Chain A
Amino acid sequence: DQQVKQNSPSLSVQEGRISILNCDYTNSMFDYFLWYKKYPAEGPTFLISISSIKDKNEDGRFTVFLNKSAKHLSLHIVPSQPGDSAVYFCAASAETGANNLFFGTGTRLTVIP
């Protein structure tokens, strides 16, 4: 059973506009969330994370929002750039217990110049 879900397999956005990537989770024990970015033929690269004690974390053009009651998080990229075109994976973990991350299936973002 998929504990982390990314329901949009793809997203296209014009350069300069905002990209919003969504992620839902089912396990209420998850309390640490991450976004990874993946280019073809490369491994995933860590982008940004958020702990459940926060509802927002910002790093430059990237902001992650967490809504614990809805078990939902989102990644906002603004302004979007063509170099942001990649597959984005949402991941989650419980800080206690397992050391492993649970990943979503990814969203392919295409930023159109």
Chain B
Amino acid sequence: GAGVSQSPRYKVAKRGQDVALRCDPISGHVSLFWYQQALGQGPEFLTYFQNEAQLDKSGLPSDRFFAERPEGSVSTLKIQRTQQEDSAVYLCASSLRLNYGYTFGSGTRLTVV
């Protein structure tokens, strides 16, 4: 596609529910990033993939967060047993190679009630 596509745009989850957020990067983009943006804050790094390899997951806040990119294209961020503090916008970004001008998607706004 022309840009990075994320779905769903909005997700309301009950506390304790599992959620899965999808990212379709720009076709051919090797690098893929997930960021979390809480209200009033800047995006914070969660994890990074190069093709299907997860090279950095140092930003994942707990073991309830899991990300995968099994075929090196679409990526899924899964959050198990959601808690209220998980409420945020989850941003995905991709780039053709490892550089810093990468393209962000519009994000998924997760609200945990």
CA distance A93 to B59 in the complex (A): 15
| Count of chain B residues with a beta carbon within 8 Å of a chain A beta carbon | 25
CA distance A99 to B44 in the complex (A): 12
Residue-wise, chain A 26-56 has the 8 Å CB interface mask toward B (1 for contact) of: 0000001010100001111110010000000
Among residues 83 to 113 in chain B, which have CB atoms less than 8 Å away from a CB atom of chain A? 91, 93, 98, 100-107
Q: Separation in Å of the B107 CB from the closest CB of chain A? A: 6
Q: Separation in Å of the B91 CB from the closest CB of chain A? A: 6
Q: For B65, list chain A residues within 8 Å (CB).
A: none
Q: Is B40 an interface residue (CB 8 A)?
A: yes
Say yes or no: A89-B43 contact (C-beta < 8 A), given A41-B106, A99-B55. yes
Q: Chain B: which residue is nearest A44 at the CB level?
A: B104
Residues of A in contact with B, size category: 20 to 34
How many cross-chain pairs have Cβ atoms below 8 Å apart between A and B? 56
CA distance A21 to B88 in the complex (A): 25
Q: Separation in Å of the A59 CB from the closest CB of chain B? A: 12
- Whether the pair B48, A100 counts as a contact (CB closer than 8 A) is yes
Among residues 81 to 113 in chain A, which have CB atoms less than 8 Å away from a CB atom of chain B? 89, 91, 93, 98-106
CA distance A41 to B6 in the complex (A): 12
- Whether the pair B100, A101 counts as a contact (CB closer than 8 A) is yes
CA distance A36 to B102 in the complex (A): 10
Q: For B79, list chain A residues within 8 Å (CB).
A: none
Q: For B4, list chain A residues within 8 Å (CB).
A: 43
Q: Is A64 an interface residue (CB 8 A)?
A: no
- Whether the pair A49, B106 counts as a contact (CB closer than 8 A) is no
Known: A41-B106, A105-B42. 10 other contacts (CB 8 A): A32-B100, A42-B106, A43-B4, A49-B100, A49-B101, A89-B43, A99-B55, A100-B33, A103-B44, A106-B42
5 example contacts (A-B, Cβ-Cβ < 8 A) are as follows: A44-B91, A89-B42, A98-B45, A99-B98, A100-B59
Residues of A within 8 A of B (CB): 4, 6, 32, 34, 36, 41-46, 49, 89, 91, 93, 98-106
5 smallest A-B Cβ distances: which pairs?
A103-B42, A43-B104, A100-B45, A46-B101, A44-B104
